[in-house]
Amino acid sequence: MDFLGYARKDGGVGTRNDVGILSTVICANEVAERIARQVSGTTSFLHHQGCCQTPVDINRVTDVLIGLGKNPNLAAVLLVSLGCESTNVGRVAKSIAATGKPVEIVTIQEGGGAAKAVAKGILLAQAMVTAASELKRELFPICKLVLGLKCGSSDTTSGLSSNPVVGILSDLIVKAGGTSILGEVTEFIGAEHLLARHAKDQETADAIFSLVNQMENRAMQMGFDIRGGQPTGGNIKGGLTTIEEKSLGAIAKAGSAKIQAVYEYGVRPDVEGLVVMNSPGREPELLTGLAAAGATLITFTTGRGAPQGFPFVPVIKVTGNEKTWDNLKDHMDFNVSSVIDGSESLADAGNRLLDEVVRVASGKKTKAEISGYTSSMDIYMVGPVI
């Protein structure tokens, strides 16, 4: 099965052809956003990090921005810098440029302030869009897809229908030679023994247990029951009772493929197949981590109806809750409530979802792209803001 994507010089294949306006620090967000708003064909990535952080987090911001910039869905990158941030802007630019992608930097402090930086950025971005618009989509096999897996605003239908259907999809893409990235380590708690059985070897299984222990210990150290945090208040209203129940439903979206490797947050997999990425469950940080790891399309299952997309990666919303499908048509892309009422098998729904993935990878817009509900993004930090 093939999709129509954009060939990149480093061998990656994009499902979109945007010019990315990436803010390198929270203080540069507004300039990045103003440039993106004024140039059609651009998209801004904004976040709240990049300064007054410990070195481990500053390095992570730098690495995540590199990962985002390298994502094959971006044809070119404009970095918007304040000029005094801790993020290593030079390293970000150099690393992205190494993929053969055009990269430019506008710096607010050196450039005479926000208005001048916006004006310069607009001109640079316009030139980048002009060049990018000449690229044409070409046919590629689905092994060139990098699929990100996400569930959010889950209810009990997520574990019964939408997550198992995405599990079938993930298996189909992995079987074809593609890559699928599973995150949300918080939602392994209580189901990690099942996931570890899918690990390709003991070392990978141990790495999964280790991630879960770290995540659970972080929650335990706060001295509270994590309920209300996980599962969230919304999950509990939707019928989920414990983190174990949520996890048992959540891991279904990993399907049955062997887990090939475990990676740190935002790190691009260097193997094909199903992989695990260290990450929390919250939408902005997880979606950013998947995009930085190179996901070119994300499936996002939801029971109660989460609206978030991502600035330059299409996010397909899959629900098994017929009430949510009826009530939130503006945000939902794909309905699998047929699995719950018994009118469709999991396998049939999984194949139907693969067809939708190919359509979206080839250019069909998702509801999140159409509604522009894509700006609540952030980078997952391990230490304090200081």
Partner 1 sequence: MKQDAILITSLDNVATALRDMEAGQACHFLKGEQAVSVVVQDAIVYGHKFAVVDILKGADIIKYGEVMGRATADIPRGAHAHVQNIESLRGRGDLKHKGGT
Query: Given the rule CB under 8 A, which residues bind partner 1?
Result: 155-157, 159-160, 189-191, 194, 216, 219-227, 230, 236, 238-239, 241-245, 248-249, 303, 321, 323, 340-342
> At its nearest, how many Å lie between partner 1 and the CB of residue 250?
11
Residues 6+ apart with CB under 8 A from 303: 153, 154, 155, 156, 157, 158, 162, 238, 319, 320, 321, 324
Query: Do residues 341 and 192 touch, judged by C-beta distance below 8 A?
Result: no
> At its nearest, how many Å lie between partner 1 and the CB of residue 219?
4
**Is the Cβ of residue 127 or residue 226 nearer to partner 1 in the bound state?**
226
Residues 6+ apart with CB under 8 A from 174: 180, 255, 257, 272, 273, 274
Residue 25 gets which letter from DSSP? S
Where is 4: in which H helix or E strand? Answer: strand 2-7
**Is the Cβ of residue 312 or residue 325 nearer to partner 1 in the bound state?**
325
**Is the Cβ of residue 109 or residue 242 nearer to partner 1 in the bound state?**
242
> At its nearest, how many Å lie between partner 1 and the CB of residue 373?
24
Residue 365 gets which letter from DSSP? P
Question: Among 294, 292, 287, 341, which residue's Cα sits nearest to residue 315?
Answer: 287
Burial class (CB in 10 A: 0-12, 13-18, 19+), 242: middle
> At its nearest, how many Å lie between partner 1 and the CB of residue 157?
6
**Is the Cβ of residue 166 or residue 189 nearer to partner 1 in the bound state?**
189
**Is the Cβ of residue 82 or residue 252 nearer to partner 1 in the bound state?**
252
> At its nearest, how many Å lie between partner 1 and the CB of residue 229?
8
Instruction: Write phi, then psi, for 9 (nearest 5 degrees).
Output: -65, -25
